[in-house]
Chain A
């Protein structure tokens, strides 16, 4: 008897610790005085012009005072951000402080998680329907998934035609699903090519490679001359990074990741060529062996240590790799558009948008905050680590002065921007892709087999997501 009881208790403890908790069905308390309907959507704009540029028509004066009495009831909005590429934690904190100073009735609380944890944090809190966050930072691969699941609000009618006209199409696309906008574009980022100028000269070249073939040649030459042990550090960790790296290699060779019907299209001659190239590069020591454990921060650190000739990363690496406090190669980290092969170049859109969660209790305050931190003034001020979403700012002399190297390269690189597929099962598909390709890279499967296995499994997942799938 005692034994049985003991086992039962242990059983209980175990289950309690490993069973996924049931989603608490918490009903959002109904708010009596909804400031939502009363406040015109233009209200937030009123805040912007106050700062400086008064080109956005009149209006500011009248709206403010009518809002003032309502300001008595203050609201708190919670926002979930990531700490990694793009705007740094301190930037976002400063933006929020400025916003709160201008809007004393709105309190903004910030949460930061790593990119790797961001997706799961969003989906678990959204599924709990407890209204944990009002705003979440959403990567451009998630709108399909979140919108299909009903986690985020459609904000198509809040973004005016004028705004749309001035936002980079790629950035706008990063919050779009089935023609609707599910967020405000905020982080405008693409992958760039980085090279260590000093090492490149030592290897005997004075210009960065234009194609992957050229790049491979240069890498072999640098290795042969003993300039670096491993010429190239890449993001091949078992996560989205592996998928992205493979994607731009593939796109440059004229391949595609997915077709128009959301079917995987990477199991193609181009796909095989790409994967073979990666596998060979790893075997020959072209790529740093640590690539398979590296995310973007690890790549940046390795590159900043001076132990890599080339690397590919988001825009933020430029400033950080040239910052003597962060880097041993300050002054030598140079940026260029990604190489091409069949295409002149191909890069991946890493734009991220801010979305309002479906269970937010203060969607209007949230929207006001989102508009503020994505406004031209704010984006210009904090352009050190991320470029603005506004096309007109790219000709702004102040901004060009702030980012003299990045802006010209960006203008060129944006021409070759490609989006990752907007499919609802992307986060599952990318797990399969990164796992299978890593298996090939580590030599445990032939590239042919890995491509085929990834394709088969993703087709299976796709079946499940069809209406009426099991």
Chain B
């Protein structure tokens, strides 16, 4: 027992050093390796989450330092949920999200299918199509704001020359028009991402599947529906997931293009939260809003994951 062989510290012995003990057990090693990351995650993510939750239970109004920060339980939540303007902005957010994602998915997959076929200049086109995605979103928004301008915008000029409109239109001047303009700016920016991911997925689909289908006499439409689409679906679900989160939180385009106007027509929930937290400095209220936003997104994500699991196919 006394002769410990250095080369073999794994022997069950009570005299191993603490260090050896740590190294021995795979589990502790794992913890040790994870620890730095864990500390960072805890400090930068978990702590703020918890402190934001704590804030959401208080009245924190930095513009009225006199009132202190009394604990009010779920008061902020009750206040928000009974606010008609909040629900209106939730409605607008869903409208933005559904319409923009639907267009992005359809357009993205269609263009990806096109780019997946063999033709001259395909590589150049594939690169070019990524440009919108490479632009900073602020620039995208400012650019579209100019394009939509009622008096000197490019869109007006184009449509007038094509004879689509008879005089210049103020695209951003009514609520629905502004919403659709914002959606268009978002679609233009994000569709390349959908194209990119779909194209990657399309290229992993083995060609023999299509050959087999052709031999069986399947039409192009049928081979898309029974081969391409099911195999594309997992990727599309990921896209859907990422885009849902993004679209639900949309802020920058709206801040720049419309400031939530006109008549609140584009005041989505993120903008609503921004005003509360950073313009009015009602941080407690703002934190509660952020939690509600998160809650909405989590519900959607859970639904997506359920759907994704039930629809998986293999060939």
Interface residue ranges, A against B (CB under 8 Å) = 3, 6-7, 10-23, 116, 119-120, 123-124, 127, 145, 148-150, 229, 236-239, 288-293, 298, 301-302, 305, 307, 424, 427-428, 431, 434-435, 438-439, 441-442, 444, 465, 467-470
Contact = CB atoms under 8 A, between A and B. Distances in A.
B148 to A, nearest CB: 8
B172 interface: yes
Interface in B163-202: 167, 169-170, 172-175, 178
Interface string B26-39: 00000000000000
Interface string B263-306: 11000001001010111110100110011011001100110010
Contacts of A10: 245, 297-298, 301
Given A229-B167, A292-B170, A439-B263, A19 B301 contact: no
B64 A19 contact: no
A20 B281 CA distance: 10
B307 interface: no
Interface string B146-159: 00011110000000
A16 B259 contact: no
Q: Which of A148, A305, A427, A438 has the most B CB atoms < 10 Å from its CB? A: A438
A148 B64 contact: yes
B293 A7 contact: no
Contact of B52 (A19, A444, A468): A19
22 contacts: A10-B297, A11-B298, A12-B45, A14-B298, A15-B294, A16-B49, A18-B293, A19-B52, A145-B63, A149-B64, A237-B261, A238-B261, A288-B150, A289-B173, A292-B174, A293-B173, A302-B151, A305-B152, A431-B279, A442-B263, A444-B175, A465-B64
List the 10 shortest-distance A-B pairs measured between CB atoms, nearest first: A238-B261, A290-B150, A20-B277, A19-B52, A289-B170, A438-B263, A290-B170, A439-B263, A293-B172, A149-B63
A58 B220 CA distance: 94
Q: DSSP class of A's interface residues: helix, strand, loop or mixed?
A: helix
A120 B62 contact: no
Given A11-B298, A16-B45, A293 B263 contact: no
Contacts of A14: 245, 249, 293-294, 297-298
A12 B281 CA distance: 23
Contacts of A431: 275, 279
A289 B171 CA distance: 9
Given A12-B46, A20-B290, A23-B283, A293 B261 contact: yes
Contact of B258 (A22, A145, A293, A469): A293
Nearest to A229: B167
Given A237-B262, A293-B150, A305-B152, A22 B301 contact: no
A239 B281 contact: no
Q: Which of B59, B66, B173, B301 has the most A CB atoms < 10 Å from its CB? A: B173
A198 B49 CA distance: 62
A12 B49 contact: yes
Contacts, number: 168
Contacts of A149: 62-65, 281
Nearest to B145: A293
Contacts of B44: 16
Contact of B259 (A17, A236, A239, A465): A239
Contacts of B73: none
A18 B294 contact: yes
Contacts of A434: 261
B141 interface: no
Contacts of B260: 238
Contact of B170 (A12, A21, A127, A293): A293
Contacts of A116: 259
B290 A119 contact: no
A289 B153 CA distance: 14
Q: Which of B65, B167, B173, B263 has the most A CB atoms < 10 Å from its CB? A: B263
Contacts of B291: 15, 19
Interface in B126-150: 149-150
Contact of B290 (A15, A301, A307): A15
A325 B66 CA distance: 52
Contacts of B298: 7, 10-11, 14
Q: Which of A6, A14, A21 has the most B CB atoms < 10 Å from its CB? A: A14
B46 A148 contact: no
Contacts of B41: 12
Nearest to A431: B275
Nearest to B305: A3
Contacts of A469: 67
A21 B48 contact: yes
Given A10-B298, A148-B63, A302-B151, A238 B264 contact: yes
Nearest to A127: B62
Q: Which of B52, B258, B294 has the most A CB atoms < 10 Å from its CB? A: B294
A332 B48 CA distance: 58
